[in-house]
Amino acid sequence: MEQEPSYGRITVANEVLETIVRLTALAVPGVVRLVPPDSFQRLLKVQDGVQVTVRDGVVEVNLYVVIESGRNALTLCRQIQAEVTRAIADIVALEVKEVNVYVEDFVPADSGE
């Protein structure tokens, strides 16, 4: 049985995962922006609407989004979940346990916000 050579340890900072999640979510058509959650969640240091937790090499994501009105929220959120999961798997080869998407607001599609 052949073994891959060991070159050392690879560590991906949580900030890198947060950037991957943020850019991927914002690239989904219909996502206007990410926002910090209301209330006590701010105490959990959720910045820019993205919270990433890694436990034993498994990723959990919470996203707080503002979406365009007129969009099907369920379909859009499922697309966000799929795209974020794919991006994490493709870019850093980590398993994703869950991607929770919280719709914080709707804005008109032509508002430019």
pLDDT of the residue at 46? 59
Nearest to 44 by CA among 1, 102, 113, 96: 102
Rounded-to-integer distance, Cα 94 and Cα 12, Å = 10
Domains and CATH numbers, the chain: 14-106 (3.30.70.1350)
pTM: 0.84
Residue with the two structure tokens 């959120």: 77
Q: Which residues contact 108 (CB under 8 A, 6 or more apart)?
A: 68, 69
pLDDT of the residue at 104? 92
Handedness of CA 66, 67, 70, 72 (dihedral sign): negative
Q: Which positions of the chain have pLDDT values less than 50?
A: none
Q: Which residues contact 47 (CB under 8 A, 6 or more apart)?
A: 18, 36
73-100: pLDDT as tens digits: 999 999 999 999 999 999 999 999 999 9
Q: What does DSSP assign to residue 31? A: E
